Amino acid sequence: MTTAILSALPEEQSSLVAHLAHSQRLMHAGRAFWLGDLHGRRVVLALSGIGKVAAATTATALIERFGVARIIFTGVAGGVGDGVNVGDVVVAQDYIQHDMDASPLFPRWEVPGYARSRMACDVGLSALLLEAAGACVSSAGSQFGLKPQALFTSQTPPHRAHHGLVASGDRFVCAAEEVQRMRSALEGAGHHVLAVEMEGAAVAQVCHDYGIPFAAARTISDRADDTAHVDFPLFVTTVASRYAEHMVLAFLQKL
Ligand code: SAH
């Protein structure tokens, strides 16, 4: 049984590749896939690419070409829910595409042909990922050492692991006003979004099509607000890879 570990960014993948035993790199569909053993588990590591279409292609290749039994996604995201702060982790319960809108033919956010707007993640895998995320955030301060002043101040509350709805769309959200608009529209329809990113909903939909269990953990790199374009690269270059490494290794131990 092979587990696919998808990362959004090379910075998040590099430490996982370094831990890989018996590694083999294969090119397929213009992408690199790393096969090997991680903590005694057979895995394939891949970069999703950025945005929904790239992520859907990668997920399809993982299933069709590499026959993976499950897909786990680790990446970063913008925190939009109340109390979802930089350095927290959000484990997705389900996914919505915030830019899906075929109204008035279909209700806003509904994925045509699926009779639903949300794609659920696998309950069992998500529970394991949430445990791994909880352990990771509680030791983040002491273990990761690097604490960029701009992101983690003495006022920063203790990091938390959250579980809930994540929204994906083909845009980097970096305006407080846009977050407000997105949140109030979605909340009006009963969708309480914790975080926003650009790939997860596409992978969730592909996994739904193939009946493959999927779970995702997103570390909060920014608040999707007017400083997101500064916070995001700082977080990615300093701490994102350590989060991904700790979370994935803890998860594989529990699997
Ligand atoms: N050129 C950049 C592109 C990053 S796009 C780079 O390669 O460094 C941002 C990535 O982080 C996407 O994978 C997305 O899923 C996630 N992300 C983090 N914060 C986000 C935000 N505020 N809005 C949308 N996506 C975000």
pLDDT tens by residue, 114-130: 999 999 999 999 999 99
Pick the range with the lowest mean pLDDT from 27-31, 64-68, 240-244: 240-244
pLDDT of 218 above 60: yes
Q: Is 173 in the pocket of ligand 1 (CB under 6 A)?
A: yes
Q: How does the average pLDDT of the chain come out, rounded?
A: 92
Is residue 8 within 8 Å of residue 199, measured between CB atoms? yes
Q: Is residue 40 situated within a structural domain?
A: no
State yes or no: pLDDT of 146 exceeds 50. Answer: no
The whole-number pLDDT of residue 188 equals 97
| Residue 236 alpha carbon to ligand 1 centre in Å | 9
pLDDT greater than 70 at residue 113: yes
| Catalytic site residue from 88, 197, 222, 245 | 222
Q: Which domain holds residue 93?
A: 75-254
Per the domain annotation, does 90 fall within a domain? yes
Burial class of residue 18 in the structure, from the number of CB atoms within 10 Å of its CB (0-12 exposed, 13-18 middle, 19+ buried): exposed
Distance CA 95, CA 78 (A): 14
Of 77, 47, 41, 232, nearest to 168 by C-alpha is: 77
The pLDDT value recorded for residue 149 is: 54
Ligand 1 centroid – CA 169 distance (Å): 10
The answer, yes or no, to whether residue 231 has pLDDT greater than 90, is no
Query: Could you confirm whether 12 is annotated as catalytic?
Result: yes
* pLDDT mean over 226-231: 89
Asked whether residue 111 is domain-assigned, the answer is yes
Closest by CA to 187, choosing from 121, 51, 93, 96, is 96
Residue whose Cα lies nearest atom 4 of ligand 1: it is 50
Percentage with pLDDT > 90 across the chain: 79
Cβ(175) – ligand 1 distance below 6 Å: no
CA distance 102 to 46: 31
User: CB neighbours (10 Å) of residue 155?
Assistant: 5
> Model's pTM, two decimal places?
0.94
Determine, yes or no, domain membership for 209. Answer: yes
CATH number (domain holding residue 188) = 3.40.50.1580
Q: Among 11, 12, 197, 225, which one carries the catalytic annotation?
A: 12
> Is residue 177 flagged as an active site residue?
no
Task: Calculate mean pLDDT across residues 58-63.
Answer: 98
What's the structural domain count of the chain?
Answer: 1
* 21 in any annotated domain: no
